[in-house]
Amino acid sequence: MGSHSDQHLLYCDWRKRDSLLVSRSQFEADLRESYKTLLGFGIKKKNALFFLPPYEWYNATIAGWTRQEGLLLVNFSPGTRSTADYTYPEMGKPYLPSDEIFKSVIDFELRDKNGMNGFILLVHAGTDPRRKDKFYNRLDGLLEVLKRKGYRFKTIDRLLSSLRFCACLCKKL
């Protein structure tokens, strides 16, 4: 568990990634608000140290600020279209139906030499009401297909600690 921000701010420009669109104080205030919300569900910051930047888009400055907040920045593994589950038909071209998202995950597993070993799959728990075919409703089916192929699933904290990344990434090199 971790934060994904409160107001889903875009931190840096899409075309010039090193250009910040927020100040440090805006970043910190938004992060504080996100942890207030989590606390309302009984989740304390000390138990939710992962941070997935809004839009999954960040730069070295954001990574540094995240580290200084005592958090570990994480992101999804590229290669599938699971991140398109936030789209809805009225968006036009970026919209991707859940069947195609599902297929993209299965296709990736078949085509990549390592399959989905160590893969971090991003699925949005909440999406726009205009998206009627919620991909998260297909997640059980996807997990069943992958289980039949021999995959086991871990929470991100267990995945990263088993890969010995957490201790390494949290220390200044």
Q: What pLDDT digit, counting tens, does each position of 12-67 carry?
A: 999 999 999 999 999 999 999 999 999 999 999 999 999 999 999 999 999 999 99
Of 60, 77, 57, 83, nearest in space to 5 by CA: 57
Q: What is the pLDDT of residue 172?
A: 43
Q: What is the pLDDT of residue 2?
A: 84
pLDDT tens-digit profile of 121-166? 999 888 899 999 999 999 999 999 999 999 999 888 888 876 655 4
What is the 8-class DSSP label of residue 50? E
Q: What is the dihedral of CA 66, 69, 72, 73, to 10 degrees?
A: -20
- In the chain, where the domains are located: 2-73, 82-158
Length of the chain in terms of residues written = 173
Helix axes 139-148, 98-111, angle to 10 degrees: 20
What is the 8-class DSSP label of residue 77? P
172-to-43, 64, 87, 167, 169 alpha-carbon distances in Å: 27, 11, 38, 10, 7
Is the separation of the CB atoms in 67 and 45 below 8 Å? no
Q: What is the pLDDT of residue 164?
A: 55
3-class SS at 161?
helix
pLDDT tens-digit profile of 78-92? 999 999 999 999 999
Q: What is the pLDDT of residue 153?
A: 92
The model's pTM is: 0.81
Is the separation of the CB atoms in 81 and 58 below 8 Å? no
Q: Rounded to whole angstroms, how far apart are CA atoms 152 and 172?
A: 31
